[in-house]
Amino acid sequence: MSGKKTYIDLFAGCGGLSLGLYNTGLWKGLFAIEKSPDAFETFNHNLIENRNHFNWPDWLPKNNHDINEIIKNYPNELLALRGKIDMVAGGPPCQGFSTAGKRIENDSRNKLIKSYIKFIRLVQPKVIFFENVKGFTQKFDKNKIQGKVYSEYVKSALQYTPADGKYLGYKVEGRLVDFSEFGVPQKRTRFILVGIRKDIANKTNPITFFDSIRNEREKFLINKGIGLTNSLEDAISDLLRTNETMSPDTHSFMAGLYNKPQSNYQKLLKGDYSETIPDSHRFAKHSASTVEKFEYILENAAKNKTLSDDIKERFNLKKRTIIPLSGSTPTPTITTLPDDYIHYCEPRIFTVREYARIQSFNDWYEFKGKYTTGGMRRTQEVPRYSQIGNAIPPLFGEQAGLILNTILN
């Protein structure tokens, strides 16, 4: 396999982690499992079709899949992968654990943890790279089911070595990591867990991963030509609404053109992408009263904080989270709801491309599917904003990929 390490991306989403691994030049995917057809369409377009980043096996149809269906329908094929897979990457969906949401312990999505562990036990990769929200390390108020935080449950399940010797178990370490300390222009703290199979863990240790990624980050970011910390302005000031044209994929909307790059971060993500219209840079259609309201908020409200009760009252706003952003710092964690934030200097919400920049996606990475959705459809559909809001920032994924490659060597 051309000397590259092999991995499987579970709960792959639109491909943030796989894009990071692709950008290292050291990894090649075997296949990816993603349930949402919307997110998989983006993933497939960029990484499978356009970049040929996967050696997809013949036995698996190249489309969106549910992990439980894969485990049920292909157990022999998964068992046959033992000894051939360097890494299984990716963590189960996090909505049931997220402190940004309602934190429902018996949310059916939380059960995917067990499916994840079952998959690991079948394939037994050399290393595991697992990501989840900060809430994954916090107890639920009632805690009827696990009786302890889920991160501890996952650690003990992965470390377990049964007497039959068929499953070797992993040496595991999990920590909270703030991605803004790794060049991403967003204060986004996530639970990262690294597991090394016990038969190879005597040569190395998962703690090495966390020490190394912290020690290497400065060299990595200097190499990329960007700073240790990047602000919102560093990320998107070349996407201001200066020149606009008809949106290529939705003709009833206007889209922005590129302005001159203002920062090394912008130059890095734009790379040699030669289009004059950035992908998915479509502006929302705000009413005159919304624009007026946003102008007042930008002028009068504290930045990077949700609106005061006074301002909410003034405009009769019932929405819990509306945050006007500062251009001079990294943003708070972006969610899947674009109307949670107001642009730092223009009276509007972000475009999908600005979201992608904040999450560190390269500009050549094109997003597919609807832009937004609402109502009951939110439980079924994963539009572009949600795909990005749920992703692992590729810039962090790339740093993780480099360190994991070193550990395996």
Cα first-last separation, the chain: 16
Q: How many CB atoms lie within 10 A of CB 132?
A: 24
Please say whether the beta carbons of 280 and 353 come within 8 A.
yes
CA distances from 28 to 3, 21, 136 (A): 9, 8, 29
Q: Does the active-site annotation cover 94?
A: yes
Strand ranges in 138-261 using DSSP code E only, listed in sequence order:
170-178, 186-187, 189-197, 244-246, 254-256
Q: What is the largest CA-CA distance in the chain?
A: 69
DSSP letter at 377?
G
Please say whether the beta carbons of 258 and 379 come within 8 A.
no
Name the catalytic one among 94, 196, 235, 356: 94
Write out the two tokens for 375: 């109502």
Please say whether the beta carbons of 133 and 107 come within 8 A.
no
Please say whether the beta carbons of 36 and 389 come within 8 A.
no
Helices (H), 162-287: 198-201, 206-223, 232-236, 264-270
Judged by DSSP in three states, 173 sits in strand
Query: Active-site residues: which are they?
Result: 94
